[in-house]
Amino acid sequence: MGTYLLNISFDFEYLPLLIVVAIAWLVPMLLSVMRLQRIPAVILEIIAGFFIGRYLLVQSSAESMEILEFLALTGFIFLMFLSGLEINTDQIIASFPRRKLNLPGFLKNPLLVGLVFFILTLSLSYAGATALSAIVFVPNVWYFSLIMVTTSVGIIFPVLKNRGETLGHYGQMLIMAAAVADILSILLFTFTAFIIGKGFRPELLLVFALFILVYIFYILGRKLETTIFRKITFQLSHAASQISIRGTLLLILVFVVLAQILGKEVILLGAFLSGLLLSFFLHKERSLLMIKLDGMGFGFFIPVFFIMVGVKFDPAHLGEFDNTLIPFLLMLLILLYLVKVLPSFLWARIFGRKRAIAGGFLMASRLSLIIAASTIGLGLGAITEGINASFVIMAVITCLISPMVYNNLNPIDRKKGRKVVIIGGSSTGVLLARRLQVHGRTVIIVEHEERRYKEIKQKGISVVMGEGTDVHTYWKLGLQSSDYIVVHSGNDEENIRICEMIRKEFHHENLISKSTGAKIEQALKRLNVEIMDVRRTLAATIENLILRPGTYHAMVDTYETFNVEEITITNKQVEGMQVQEFHFHKDCMLILVQRGIYKFIPHGESYLKRGDIIIMFGTEAALEDTRIRCSG
């Protein structure tokens, strides 16, 4: 008889779980120590899982392995949930065409181009799968082609983010294409798996009940946002109850349980839709809740899933191909790239052939979804054990090769500086232009009044005649994704119209405008515009004049001599260096370090990492020296 406390057995064997959790902890630590952070941790987790499955878990009881498999399934569900949560629903809604489209308008629309990209990819995948089926046995050619269609937002987004390309038109095109591929792939997987598992039956239509449920939850969520429920949720979100996390888990399980009722083949879609639904409501609170959910998912459940993929991986299954193994793997790898690179020529007219091809190679990176789809296909008998093992190998290869090829084909132009476009030639706009010019920034003012245009030009400031609401004004300026646009027309309603036009026509995100009231602030927030609240700024200025006048005047009145600047560390030689080892220029000082969402005041023994944003104060010459050393 085992030991019991409150009917809880203490006989469960925790050693297998300890080994798995130790691997999950050790892998990112090793990548950091060896400075290999660009390699996705899940690759080493799969490889480590393979070895522990052969040498450390062989003696584990069937009950312990069953528990690990349950945790792995939970990690798989969490992975699909977070994949849905990653989808920017606001961006998708904003990309819906609202007028008659011509060819240039179509090519600029990320959603429409993403749909065509997916259709082309699917067509090429099916043709390639058919060709491969003549070499090796493929039980279900259609399902095989669906696996090749997958992509990995989890690889694409970090690569673009590290390069500062997520907010630009090019980055948005790639992210939208990956999001469309995720959504449509999961839908097709669900219907195909249902048909393979149960046949083409009327019950298939019940899958659409999940979409109706999403709509019902969306309507209820909108109503609850304006009631006392929102206040209670806020009060309990940071307490021991952690109500937002509990509510999220409840939402996931509601969709997963209903999906299970329809059939185990639908669980993937249910988990994904729960994340997609939650993404509609996460705006201002997104960062905090995302940190908590990422902590639960990537901190525990998801690593267990990938480690167990490695545990289950058996290279002996590749023996089914006999002498055709090497030709099959090579052809599969080539096909996985061709089905993504060829459709990428859709982007060539806008971004040039080289950048388009680079985007195609990045889109060819595959990781979580291809493994998930392959695992499901194996359970359904749609693919063989050998094909499943081959797709696991391809996932490792593509997510290693694709980012490197992308960076080589589309290198970052370090010399290309951002320019600032100021809409409205008011006295504030002119003063801002002069201050930014002191910092070496290229500034252009857009002014529609001819008299004011001439006055600004006489002051030696770059200015163009044009309307802020006119699309052609921005084409003339050669607007780039890295440029900042400050919308300061002098009229709140016009500011909103200008921001709305820029967001929808150019999908540009580096937008800054001012807010003079709650209504204006809400409208600008819906457009994801960075807001400068006039009331808070004025209050903060007066507060500084009363509490810290010396500091305020030093920062405001001496900008021609001393500057405050944010510098991003990209030099790999600085990685792991202590602050005291950097030897900053004598005419500047390090004030603050921002690492992700965290900020801290550094000391001599603090370590610097690539991607850190260091906030410096000093002369322009000293800051330029720091910029050069940090960029390498």
DSSP string, 307-360: HHHHHH--GGGGGGGGGGHHHHHHHHHHHHHHHHHTGGGGGHHHH-HHHHHHHH
| 365 or 231: which leads in pLDDT | 365
- 8 Å CB contact between 510 and 483: yes
Q: pLDDT tens digits, residue range 380-430?
A: 889 999 999 999 899 889 988 998 899 888 886 544 557 899 999 888 888
Return the pLDDT at 560.
54
Residues 350-372 have a mean pLDDT of: 87
149 — pLDDT class (breaks 50, 70, 90): very high
296-300, 310-314, 549-553 — which is least confidently predicted? 549-553
Which domains are seen in the chain, by residue range?
4-409 (1.20.1530.20), 419-547 (3.40.50.720), 561-631 (3.30.70.1450)
Helix crossing, 385-409 with 353-363: angle to 10°?
150
Task: Count the Cβ atoms, other than its own, within 10 Å of residue 598.
Answer: 7
| 285 or 250: which leads in pLDDT | 250
Mean pLDDT of the chain: 81
Range from 37-46, 352-361, 597-606, 609-618 that averages highest in pLDDT: 352-361
Task: Count the Cβ atoms, other than its own, within 10 Å of residue 632.
Answer: 12
Q: pLDDT tens digits, residue range 259-299?
A: 888 877 788 888 888 888 888 776 544 456 777 787 888 88
What is the rounded CA–CA span in Å between residue 488 and residue 502? 14
Return the pLDDT at 554.
63
- 8 Å CB contact between 363 and 124: no
Residue bearing tokens 């406390």:
5
Indicate whether 144 pLDDT > 90. yes
| pTM of the predicted protein model | 0.64
Contacts of 210 (CB under 8 A, 6+ apart): 255, 258, 259, 262, 266, 269, 270, 273
Return the pLDDT at 359.
92
Residues 353-365 have a mean pLDDT of: 91
Residues 325-349 have a mean pLDDT of: 92
1 — pLDDT class (breaks 50, 70, 90): very low
Indicate whether 358 pLDDT > 90. yes
Q: What is the CA radius of gyration of the chain?
A: 27
Sheet holding 598-600, edge to edge: 563-568, 613-618, 588-595, 598-600
Query: Regarding beta strands 419-423 and 484-487, do their DSSP bridges make them parallel or antiparallel, or are they unpaired?
Result: parallel
H/E run at residue 261: helix 243-262
Residues 342-369 have a mean pLDDT of: 88
